[in-house]
Structure 1
């Protein structure tokens, strides 16, 4: 097996195994040779070099990731190091070194024995997920790709969001088109190629919330149109007034699907969980609940109150400025 080391001076990381491959690069499990050989996750991203060097969009995004690392939020994966490595063919290999966590939420759910997660564990997972999302939104970051595979779970049950804020690093020459979120977790406004902001992450949170109960994706569309049909079959076709303007798919091209009770699909929902899920899965992004307001929802208030009673310091230090779900972000 190939084992390469990278450092500006002495060797720092030893590659052990490939743990992921994508269109933009490779993720390695590696050893940090300067820190007792502890494991790290090393993402190597190919970036086209310009005459001026690395594109400013990539530099800005990395600077933002570095800035967030100063907060050391418990529900955000830690960025440990950033390095560059010159490649042939006018390419730069950008190396991002993160803490290594060997399990994502998808694997965690697959390994969960029957009858599945209990209601208290589901509430704990949602609390951690929303605290991480609220932290990103408070810092004007839209994750854009929330899915179980991008949510890591430590052996102690701590959730950590990964792959956030990297959309412009990966595709700095690409417009932020609909090819952003894995189809099954993609918000309707993204599928329709309408303008979007933080509410896209809240839709994804709703899809993940439902999956915690059923241990299978909620909307399994095979194409963009099929994904919308799957959504409308459950939630009903939205009123025409909520349809975004200037999109290629007209409202009239979809049947007038009636809405179905969400408990038909997820019978285990208690009334408060049902209310939160319905507010996460609003078609109109302006009506969708924000991360800050979701954290104040009664479904989670009992969990937060219990944590505050036992350990006040363990509660998220969220600093959202308001509760709106359409917080603008730079794109």
Structure 2
């Protein structure tokens, strides 16, 4: 059995234990703190001059086995990233644990290529750095984001947590989609987990109070909210109750959606708020609240941007456009990045069955279905945590060490 030595260092008061073979390629004396969320701490390590590896983002999962859902999220992100390769999706380099066996597994590390600052930080910094993004820049970013979503959708995967904090952008404009802990396979035969994502960007059909199946169009609501935030620099639905703010902007929630709300008090509240509201002209809102250097572009593209947002910010998912339709929309058409399909499909961990898809008569590509384990029928929390612990351990063992 190979004995691996580990080097310890701190990032933002959090101790990281990394194999010596990895440390040799990076500057650990000055690690940069990227952020800390509910599920982990992330740091940025610069490469040393002699290495062939890129700068990396190193994530340490925080208390991954405190609750079953935390362990499941850790497993899902490991499993998904180990099977994805696309230019606009974060690239997994390595994943490991310093713990000796799955029975003692507590610490899990995820190493990905550093993809740049997150979009939320870049938007906040615009006026401070005098580096301004224009509408044409946001169109390019949006096209890249949709291209990543198109790839995920082709393998029946939805992200479920789209927000500026989970999108990285490099100085050259290259966009990368991050954080796949809530991503999962679309299953039309059973209900999927509710309360997935961040409320400011979350579509109404994904909240716990709503009793309807959702699909990839849930991500399209988030896309519309993100575009508005790009333009104004402010969260579109930021409010104590984001859905009240959404009604004030997007108009009444229709009966087709209201009848799917389980919680009677919440449904009646939405009905009352809907009676008082009508849909605003979203472009008027953007022109009033948008960054001053974007307003001329907004004025010149009013029709297309209004149409694009009207087709994403709809409470009824059936009235939202799909990712493919968004890529073909006149608002983005000038970007010239219509369905690329230049990606490696997700591997199936259960079988080798596949489906054939044909897009606009082009050459058929093989899309291999990705298996998911959303519901585990284990009543005992400790047993379920141990189940995920073993799954994660097995997944770690399938990921080769590129630093050997």
Give me the TM-score of the superposition, normalised by structure 2: 0.65
On the 8 A contact 2:137/2:173 being kept in 1, the answer is: no
> Is residue 24 from structure 1 mapped to residue 42 from structure 2 by the alignment?
no
Please list, as runs of the form range in 1=range in 2, the aligned pairs for 1:307-318 lying within 5 A after superposition.
Answer: 315=340, 317=342
Unaligned runs of 5+ in 2: 1-8, 185-191, 288-297, 346-355, 360-369, 375-404
Greater Rg over alpha carbons, structure: 2
The alpha-carbon deviation at position 151 of structure 1 amounts to 0.5
Query: How far apart in 2 are the matches of 1:141 and 1:159?
Result: 19
Of 280, 283, 290, the residue aligned with 2:322 is 290
Higher relative contact order, chain-length normalized (CA < 8 Å, sep 6+):
2
> For residue 165 of structure 2, what is the aligned residue in structure 1?
149
Of 280-289 and 86-95, deviating more is: 86-95
Cα 1:112–1:289, aligned 2, differ >3 Å: closer, same or farther? same
> Is residue 275 from structure 1 mapped to residue 307 from structure 2 by the alignment?
yes
Please list, as runs of the form range in 1=range in 2, the aligned pairs for 1:126-275 lying within 5 A after superposition.
Answer: 126-164=142-180, 166-167=181-182, 176-178=193-195, 180-191=196-207, 193-194=209-210, 195-222=213-240, 226-248=241-263, 249-251=266-268, 252-256=271-275, 257-267=277-287, 268=298, 270-275=302-307
> For residue 172 of structure 1, what is the aligned residue in structure 2?
none
On the 8 A contact 1:236/1:259 being kept in 2, the answer is: yes
Secondary structure of the residue aligned to 1:152 is strand
Query: How far apart in 2 are the matches of 1:93 and 1:322?
Result: 43
The alpha-carbon deviation at position 61 of structure 1 amounts to 4.9
Question: What whole-Å deviation, never above 9, does each CA across 1:72-129 have from its counterpart, x for those lacking one?
Answer: x221111111112329995421211011134111122223347953332222121111
> Is residue 119 from structure 1 mapped to residue 144 from structure 2 by the alignment?
no
> Is residue 84 from structure 1 mapped to residue 103 from structure 2 by the alignment?
no
Query: How far apart in 2 are the matches of 1:271 and 1:115?
Result: 27
> Is residue 44 from structure 1 mapped to residue 60 from structure 2 by the alignment?
yes
Query: How far apart in 2 are the matches of 1:214 and 1:286?
Result: 27
Cα 1:230–1:55, aligned 2, differ >3 Å: closer, same or farther? closer
> For residue 62 of structure 1, what is the aligned residue in structure 2?
78
Question: What whole-Å deviation, never above 9, does each CA across 1:170-205 have from its counterpart, x for those lacking one?
Answer: xxxxx8331x32221121222354343322211110
Query: How far apart in 1 are the matches of 2:183 and 2:105?
Result: 16
Secondary structure of the residue aligned to 2:314 is coil
Cα 1:104–1:59, aligned 2, differ >3 Å: closer, same or farther? closer
The alpha-carbon deviation at position 242 of structure 1 amounts to 2.8
